[in-house]
Structure 1
Amino acid sequence: MEFVSSLAKSVFEKVNGELVEVSEIPGLKLYSCQQEIDLMPIVIQPSICFVLHCFVLQAKKRVSTGQQSFVYSEDSYLINSVTRPVEASLLDVSQERPYVGFSLAIDQQMVGQLMMEMSPWQKETSSQPQRDFTQATKMTKEIENVVTRLLGLLNNPMDREILAPSIFRELYYQVLKGPGGGLLRNCVSNHAGANRVAPVIHYIEQNFERNLAIEEIASVAGMSASTLHEHFKQVTTVSPMQYVKSLRLHKARSMLSSGYQVAEVCYEVGYSSPSQFSREFKRYFGFTPSEARSLATTIE
Structure 2
Amino acid sequence: MVTKERNAHTRLIQLVDQYTSVENRFETPIAGLILSRWDTPTQASSNMLDASLCLIAQGKKQVILGEEIYTYDAEHFLFTAIDLPVISQIIDASPEKPYLGILLKLDPYALAQLMLEAHVPFKHRTEDKKGLAVGELTHELTNAFVRLLELIQTPEDIQILSPLIIKEILYRLLMSPQGDRLKRIAATGTNGHRIVKAIEWLKHNFSKPLSIDDLANSMGMSSSSFHQHFRDITSMSPLQYQKRMRLSEARRLLITEDLDVSSASIQVGYESLSQFSREYKRFFGMPPSEDLRKN
Q: CA deviation at 1:17?
A: 5.5
2:49 corresponding residue in structure 1: 44
Indicate if the aligned counterparts of 2:51 and 2:80 stay in contact, CA closer than 8 A.
Answer: yes
Q: TM-score if structure 2 supplies the norm length?
A: 0.86
From 230, 234, 237, give the equivalent of 2:235. Answer: 237
5+ residue gaps, structure 2, are none
Give a deviation string over 1:122-165, Cα, whole Å, max 9, x none: 43x34445612001110112111111111111111112122101
Partner of 1:4: 9
**Partners in 2 of 1:15 and 1:260 — Cα distance?**
27
From the superposition, tell whether residues 136 and 294 of structure 1 become closer, same or farther in structure 2 (CA, over 3 Å).
Answer: farther
Between stretches 110-119 and 165-174, larger displacement belongs to 110-119
Select between 136-145 and 241-250 the one with higher mean Cα deviation: 241-250
User: How many angstroms does 1:68 deviate by?
Assistant: 1.1
Once the two structures are overlaid, the 10-residue window that deviates more, 221-230 or 155-164, is 221-230
Q: How far is the alpha carbon of 1:98 from its aligned partner?
A: 0.8
Secondary structure, aligned partner of 1:4: helix
Equivalent pair of 2:52/2:106 in contact (CA under 8 Å): yes
- Stretches of structure 1 that go unaligned for 5 or more consecutive residues are 53-57
Shift of 1:242: 1.7
Give the equivalent residue in structure 2 for 1:161.
Answer: 159
CA separation of 1:8 and 1:239: change in aligned 2, threshold 3 A: same
Greater shift after overlay, 208-217 or 161-170?
A: 208-217
Change in 2 beyond 3 A, CA 1:168/1:93:
same
**Alignment CA distance shift 1:219-1:245 (3 Å):** same
Q: Residue in 2 aligned with 1:20? A: 25
Task: Note if contact 2:46-2:283 (Cα within 8 Å) is conserved in structure 1.
Answer: no
Shift of 1:254: 4.5
Give the conservation status (yes or no) of the 8 Å contact 1:33–1:100. Answer: yes
Q: Deviations over 1:72-128 (max 9, x none)?
A: 111111110111100011011121121111111113343222101222xx43x3444
Amino acid at match of 2:129: R
2:266 paired residue number? 267
The CA RMSD over aligned residues, in Å, is 2.4
Calculate the TM-score normalised by the size of structure 1: 0.85
The alignment of Structure 1 onto Structure 2 pairs a total of residues equal to 287
Identity %: 32
Partners of 1:264 and 1:157 in 2: how far apart? 41
Which stretch shows the higher mean deviation, 234-243 or 149-158?
A: 234-243
Distance in 2 between residues matched to 1:275 and 1:140, nearest whole Å: 49
Alignment of 1:13-162 (within 5 A): 13-16=18-21, 18-52=23-57, 58-119=58-119, 122-123=120-121, 125-128=122-125, 131-162=129-160
